[in-house]
Amino acid sequence: MPATVKRAPQRTCLACRKVKAKRELLRLVRTPDGAIEIDPTGKKAGRGAYFCRLPECWEAGLKGNRLENALKSKLSNQEREQLLSQVKELLKGA
Ligand SMILES: [Zn+2]
């Protein structure tokens, strides 16, 4: 890619596998101390995964073990539920 062409960074939604501009997605991050958090800024350090800003993608993504594989971390049902309710709140305000 020529250096003069500026392109928005793109990421793939872990649930639906669609490639979108990074700013259209919402990031989930495993912080260096092992906590799993939503990262609305996309700037936190740690291993991340991206989902569309759609509750259905988060629901699908939080269900299986794809997310655990992406983050290389185990998620309890309680953590999944907490993250999902946090995301829903966040998407409501968006
Ligand atoms: Zn998606």
5 CA from centroid of ligand 1 (Å): 27
Q: Is the confidence at residue 2, as pLDDT, over 80?
A: no
Q: What pLDDT does residue 7 have? A: 80
CA of 50 to the centre of ligand 1 (A): 8
**This prediction's pTM:** 0.87
Identify the pLDDT of residue 26. 97
CA of 6 to the centre of ligand 1 (A): 24
Q: In order of start, what are the domains of the chain with their CATH numbers? A: 10-89 (3.30.1230.10)
pLDDT per residue as tens digits for the range 6-54: 788 999 999 999 999 999 999 999 999 999 999 999 999 999 999 999 9
Token pair of 69 as six digits: 């594989």
Classify residue 34 by burial, with Cβ atoms within 10 Å: 0-12, 13-18, 19+.
exposed
Q: Measure Cα distances from 60 to 5, 8, 31, 41, 81 in Å.
A: 35, 26, 22, 22, 12
CA of 4 to the centre of ligand 1 (A): 30
